[in-house]
Structure 1
């Protein structure tokens, strides 16, 4: 796999949907078996990372990384025909993502001040140091969304120093229905630590859910999630003050 093409996009989308569906299944099973099962509300990211890995394993390497002693995540790295890593991506909950301060995310505790820097993200965002973001923004403004795929392909696969090396893929869940409502691709800027919305994969997500019953979740299954408070969708383990482990440059 040498490009961010339709097959890769669809595999990521299906992985996110399958992971969320699996999470809903586990929540229902725990709700039936246990007197108290609210702790399961905090494992959604694990299920989504796992299924994205399963759906992309033919052409994407995945490596377990640390975001502190209590939390792990998967770093995904598509490879070329020589098994060389082309770029990296992570999948994150939109609720913990702040497009204006990508390296810090959102503060999840009221009146807690600005959240601490997420060192593991800062290391990854730095990989985009050579990207001309002013040119990228202008190109996106001029070109239609349909051309964004080709732009991303060109900026990932060129041999120059300004190639994109790290992207972030976010998913979001509707507060009321508890159904997946969007999937988007972002390019983080290491100068400003802001992110540019590059691709919206929500249409692809809706098509998969509509046309394949394997990815559909019914209202009865989702009911258990409606008992969660809104903050459950936001929770980030870093709120508890764990020190973040840095990613070694040699691993990238």
Structure 2
């Protein structure tokens, strides 16, 4: 779904910087996967390093609108970075990078159980979204799993007393050829289990100076992804639950 908004969470320059960093991290991840596939008899476990590469790339980008980042632990074996920023539209925010496909899988489980780091983060938005709901028909705001805020709703969000304390995901998604094609800013709602798209950054992929023109990036067929690994139950169920 294409987004056309006058007011955005990130400016065009900020958006391009974020997308560039994500692409650099993803390229680093692909380089490692390609190398390990070449040198090892079995290397599917490296699929779980994608988030590390992408988080690390944003951390080392030294973007001036990101105040700090902090290493967090969702479990003994699951680490991620939390980024903090003073945002012109949403006030004081923190955000986490997350694969969109995986987020769609694990967030409903987190909401249903009422626990886990994804649910805890989503609860930050509760007062904010409740205030918004008082100004609009919630059945209109959340008719499907992924929804868009229009400009009028952004005005209401910006006036919310809780707008200085919000959380969102910046998500990324690759196509069947392992090319990143989708990068979005998404706000989770712990009350409904909905994932609300508030800005689509995907158009900045085509304007990035990070290219994947090398032939090796065109020959990624058969490269396993998390979904494939999980389908074969290679990852223990407990580890998957802790990820949420």
- CA-atom RMSD, angstroms? 3.9
TM-score, with structure 2 as normaliser: 0.73
**Cα-to-partner distance string for 1:172-219 (whole Å, 9 max, x where unaligned):** 1112x11111111111123223121111111112222xxx2x333444
Equivalence for 1:48: 54
Q: 1:72 to 1:230 in 2, by over 3 A?
A: closer
- The alpha-carbon deviation at position 151 of structure 1 amounts to 6.8
**Cα-to-partner distance string for 1:67-126 (whole Å, 9 max, x where unaligned):** 11111011111147xxxx810111111111229x83536xxxxxxxx9855511111111
Unpaired runs of 5+ residues, structure 2, are: 1-8
Query: How many aligned residue pairs are there?
Result: 222
Counterpart-to-counterpart distance in 1, 2:207 and 2:116: 36
Equivalence for 1:203: 203
Counterpart-to-counterpart distance in 2, 1:42 and 1:225: 18
Matched, 1:29 2:35: yes
Given that residues 92 and 163 in structure 2 are in contact (C-alpha distance below 8 angstroms), is that contact kept between their aligned partners in structure 1? no
Given that residues 166 and 187 in structure 1 are in contact (C-alpha distance below 8 angstroms), is that contact kept between their aligned partners in structure 2? yes
Q: 1:174 to 1:225 in 2, by over 3 A?
A: same
1:72 to 75, 79, 83: 79
Counterpart-to-counterpart distance in 1, 2:211 and 2:93: 28
Is the partner of 1:67 in helix, strand or coil?
strand
Unpaired runs of 5+ residues, structure 1, are: 106-113, 247-252
Equivalence for 1:173: 174
Matched, 1:223 2:219: yes
Counterpart-to-counterpart distance in 1, 2:113 and 2:213: 36
Equivalence for 1:240: 237
Is the partner of 1:77 in helix, strand or coil?
strand
